[in-house]
A and B are shown apart, each in its own frame.
Chain A
Amino acid sequence: MSSPILSVESVHVSYGRVEAVRGVSVEVDEGGLIALVGANGAGKSSVLAAVSGLVRPKAGKVLFDGRDVTRWPAHRRVGAGLVLVPEGRQILGTLTVAENLRLGAHRRRRQAAPIEDMFELFPVLAERRNLPASALSGGEQQMLAIARAMIARPRVMLLDEPSMGLAPKMVDEVFTVIEKIRATGVTVVLVEQNARRALRAAEHGYVLDTGEITHSGPAKELLDNPRVVEAYLGAE
């Protein structure tokens, strides 16, 4: 096995005295797609927050491309190509669609893709380039959030609940886009509550429960593991 492009080594995350993540280790090879699944409050988003630099882990390490980035601020990680598409999209509603994209590119001016490429990839955004982003529908906002990360030509893209609150048809579209991103060689770390969808798309999966990884393995195996379903619904 080649050395992973991103590896998280027994990371702990706490908010005050609340331990959200307790010793989680995850790794992904260049070009791979892994899924972190688990019920709400399991700590999935906190893992991504630690990887992207939004919170500083209390213990553990984040290695990106062989470098220890644990102490790097968030903007420096973006500059290095480790880009998050956050939960709830977090697009900037008062800025226009085009401004959101330019903002996404500003840390990686040299590597960044031309804005027109994004409009080609997401035609729906091209039509609305000069509208404030708050005027977009939920699905369109998710596309914008992904495009805003894509324009930085990331090496690893972290996707936090991209299907949240979307109608089933939009969920399909989002997953199609994720496949496309994959195809361009970008490594993807996908966090999802929609476990079946995520595990079908991924090669490798991790199941989180109350801040710890309870199962991990090839995604196909997890899909067929009744215990995984239990972690969600608690059914016997």
Chain B
Amino acid sequence: MLAGYDTLITTVALGAILAYSFYVVLMAGQLSLGQAGFASLAAYTSTLVVPTEPLFGSLSPVLIGIPVGALVGGAAAFVLGLPVLRLRGVFLAIATIAFGEMVRVFMTNAEWTRGALGMRLDKWVTIDLAWIVVAVLAYLFWRLGPSRTGRAFAAVREDELAAGSMGVDVVRTRMASFVGSGMIAGVYGVMFAYFFGRITPGSFDFGLMMDGLVTAVLGGYLVFFGPVLGAGFLSAVPEGLDATGLEAGWVYPFFTGLLLLAVILFLPGGLSSLFLRRRRRPKPVELTDAERAGLFAGYSEPGTEIARVRGLGKSYGAVQAVRSVDLELKSGEILGVIGPNGAGKTTLINMLSGLEPPTSGEGEVLDVKLGQTGRSHRFARAGVSRTFQHSKLFNRLSAFENVLVGTHVKVKGTFLKRLLWLPSARREEHLALAVAWEQIRRVGLEDRAHLRPGSLSYGDQRRLEIARALASYPELLILDEPAAGMNHVEAGELAELIGSLAADGITVLLIEHNVKMVLDTCTRVVVMNFGEVIASGEPREVATDPKVVEAYLGAEDTGESQYV
């Protein structure tokens, strides 16, 4: 039945493989366009090692070429990644395009590649082999999606800062996706060479990369079968056009262009997102007693010092946001930090959570020294967790998945185990699900767990961010204006929640504009203005301190405050 369509169907498989090499970077939010270079290097290298006779008399010699291609592509991506992964967005895209073009020119000028003439090879790639490779890739990505690694990819894509604060090593995750892309592109290069039986340096050009990118975007990079769908669709369009008698050469690019435009404008998740079932509500998963005991292991004794900073300062050019702050935190306390806008509160906690290095002074939080940038995941692993003043939720994940990312530092990697269906993978996943469920219930969002953050109310978004932070079972929880925009009832509930956290032994650092809430909840309060600590002590003392009243309400004519 399919006779005569062999070539077409194999081309679909090749297109899908190429698209997977884009899928893996896009799912981590990286726009890399170096795939043609990786494919080219791999294809040409494979010509040196692939035998001209079938293996053991019957096996396709490409079975040697494929792992070699993956190796060469992955190694090339790693070496390229070291310098270029410091770049982001279009800069990364352009640098990788340049790499691809350099490879092309190099291959054109090398002797052994026979330059622009290209090389003739045997056609060893059959329809079965091509689809087996696609099946393996689809399986990999199917298992990757809901693993700890897959969640880390998604978190980095949605928000690098928040991902780092949840303990995801952003640098390594980006590199992993980049190397993965190189490996798949390498496999593609080899398959391409031994399917068409001919390669030239121009086989792997800018146009090829655009094709791969278009396929991946059209199919969608949020669902594992997106690339197959994209490739199938792009091959079906010309067939369909043929059938309707529209055969002119311009018709195909015209329609695919329009289709791509429509997809990116109206269906940003690609065609595969049409096949996504409505998000199911997650099923409740309960923590076992053993799991629960393990989560609280290693907490400091109440009253021990867990953070200490001395003379901490931060300046941005001429602006001194924080100047010479001394601060200690003791395990089990709820420390409130208040002060007018621009007082330097957020800058202070950015330093305490490893997001920004101080420009002067020093300090330690849970035995991690303040200093280096890009190391916020170390703070998270040591037990610091935080929320952000402007919610940094992962927008294209469900509320529950957001909280699952928060479990990153509490569970072990599960991707490889999931590939082999090991029982330990299930145990780790159970722990992650149970922790996430516990936290989402704690903040009262269990019936909205399947929704995306964007469709939650403001107060719910704030609570969700707290649940995500709690899912790492932090020793120190930093909340940046969690009550902003909440009404009085919600703020009251939040204050209760914070109190219950302290009862669990979590130390809380709370920045808040709702002074009443701070005074009611906190055991100690620090007041900042113009980057300095202007008062600190018990809530009631602080509230009557004239300096504090002045900072908030402005100076009183008579000098004395009448009402507080």
Contact = CB atoms under 8 A, between A and B. Distances in A.
Q: Does chain A bind chain B?
A: yes
Interface of A: 16-20, 39-41, 161, 163-165, 167-168, 171, 193-198, 200, 210, 226, 229-230, 232-235
Contacts of B488: 210
B555 A193 contact: no
Contacts of A196: 553-556
A41 B549 CA distance: 19
B519 A234 contact: yes
A57 to B, nearest CB: 17
Interface residues of B, number: 33
A134 to B, nearest CB: 9
Contacts of A165: 341-342
Given A41-B481, A41-B514, A197-B554, 11 more contacts: A17-B455, A40-B341, A41-B513, A161-B341, A196-B555, A196-B556, A198-B554, A210-B485, A232-B552, A233-B552, A234-B519
Interface string B546-564: 0001001111110000111
B554 A164 contact: no
B127 interface: no
Nearest to B340: A193
Contacts of B519: 234-235
Interface of B: 340-342, 454-458, 481, 484-488, 513-517, 519-520, 530, 543, 549, 552-557, 562-564
Nearest to B517: A234
By Cβ-Cβ distance, the 6 closest A-B pairs, closest first, are A234-B516, A18-B458, A165-B342, A194-B554, A196-B554, A40-B513
B338 to A, nearest CB: 10
Contacts of A195: 553-554
B456 to A, nearest CB: 7
**From A41, A200, A210, A233, residue with most partner B Cβ within 10 Å:** A233
A161 B484 CA distance: 18
Contact of A234 (B481, B484, B514): B514
A200 B481 CA distance: 29
**From A196, A197, A230, residue with most partner B Cβ within 10 Å:** A196
B340 A18 contact: no
A215 B484 CA distance: 20
Contacts of B342: 164-165
B489 to A, nearest CB: 10
A19 to B, nearest CB: 8
A51 B553 CA distance: 25
27 contacts: A16-B458, A17-B455, A17-B456, A18-B457, A18-B485, A39-B513, A39-B514, A40-B484, A41-B485, A164-B342, A165-B341, A193-B552, A195-B553, A196-B553, A196-B554, A196-B556, A210-B485, A210-B486, A210-B488, A226-B562, A229-B553, A229-B563, A229-B564, A230-B563, A233-B552, A233-B553, A234-B515
Contacts of B553: 194-196, 229, 232-233
Contacts of A234: 514-517, 519-520
A233 B485 contact: no
A202 to B, nearest CB: 13
A226 B561 CA distance: 11
Contacts of B454: 16
A171 B554 CA distance: 10
A157 B280 CA distance: 51
A161 B342 CA distance: 12
A17 B552 CA distance: 30
Nearest to A198: B554
Nearest to B319: A138
Given A17-B455, A40-B484, A232 B340 contact: no
Nearest to A235: B564
B564 A210 contact: no
A18 B455 CA distance: 10
**From A195, A210, A226, residue with most partner B Cβ within 10 Å:** A210
A210 B487 contact: yes
A233 B516 contact: yes
B425 to A, nearest CB: 37
Contact of B543 (A194, A200, A226, A235): A235
A113 B63 CA distance: 79
B341 A17 contact: no
Contact of B549 (A163, A226, A233): A233
Contacts of A168: 555
A214 to B, nearest CB: 11
Contact of B341 (A20, A193, A233): A193
A233 B340 contact: no
A21 to B, nearest CB: 11
Contacts of A163: 554
A202 B520 CA distance: 33
A148 to B, nearest CB: 21
B330 to A, nearest CB: 25
Given A165-B341, A232-B552, A233-B564, A41 B457 contact: no
B535 to A, nearest CB: 13
Nearest to A16: B454
A165 B554 CA distance: 12
Nearest to A167: B530
A200 B516 CA distance: 25
B543 A233 contact: yes
B63 to A, nearest CB: 53
B555 A20 contact: no
B337 to A, nearest CB: 14
Contacts of A40: 341, 484, 513
A179 B70 CA distance: 73
B464 to A, nearest CB: 13
A112 to B, nearest CB: 32
Contacts of A193: 340-341, 552
B484 A233 contact: no
Nearest to B317: A134
Contacts of A233: 515-516, 543, 549, 552-553, 564
A141 to B, nearest CB: 11
A94 B543 CA distance: 42
Nearest to B338: A233
A1 to B, nearest CB: 29
A226 B553 CA distance: 13
Nearest to A226: B563
A205 to B, nearest CB: 13
A163 B513 CA distance: 17
Contacts of B520: 234
Nearest to A168: B555
A161 B555 CA distance: 16
Contact of B485 (A20, A161, A164, A200): A20
Contacts of B486: 210
Contacts of B555: 168, 196-197
